[in-house]
A = this chain, B = another copy of it.
Amino acid sequence: MHVIKVRSHQREELVEFTDQVEEKLKEAGAGEGVCFLYVQHTTAGLTVNENADPDVPRDMLHALRTLIPQHGMGFRHGEENSDAHIKASLVGTSVSIPFKDGKLLLGRWQGVFLCEFDGGRERQVIMMLR
């Protein structure tokens, strides 16, 4: 089991942390298997998507904000972050990525992102190799 800390700086932000995962994977010396990442929070998620053009994460946050705005949907939860809880469940709290020869089997354009929906904060991600 490994713990990865990821820091966000804005209310909504996609923070790539592929390098931190690759580093832990290298340290662990594991050959082939599945890398599980799990975020221990209810207003943040994890996803794999394009890390080349920063407009991709920007467009994703923009679309999610358009569909599920912070205010105006008649939410009752008193902390004004129901939108963040919902977005977290839509992208999901975990990702599973295969690895081989100690490296993640990511596609050419793929990176691993923390999806921050109620930041900025430090978030904790649990990593398990199996």
Contact = CB atoms under 8 A, between A and B. Distances in A.
Nearest to A75: B59
A39 B109 CA distance: 12
A8 B74 CA distance: 25
B34 A88 contact: no
Interface of A: 1, 32-34, 36, 38-42, 47-50, 53, 55-56, 58-60, 62-64, 66-68, 73-79, 82-83, 85-86, 88-98, 100, 105-110, 124, 126, 128, 130
A62 B75 contact: yes
Contacts of A98: 1, 36, 38, 126, 128
A50 B42 contact: yes
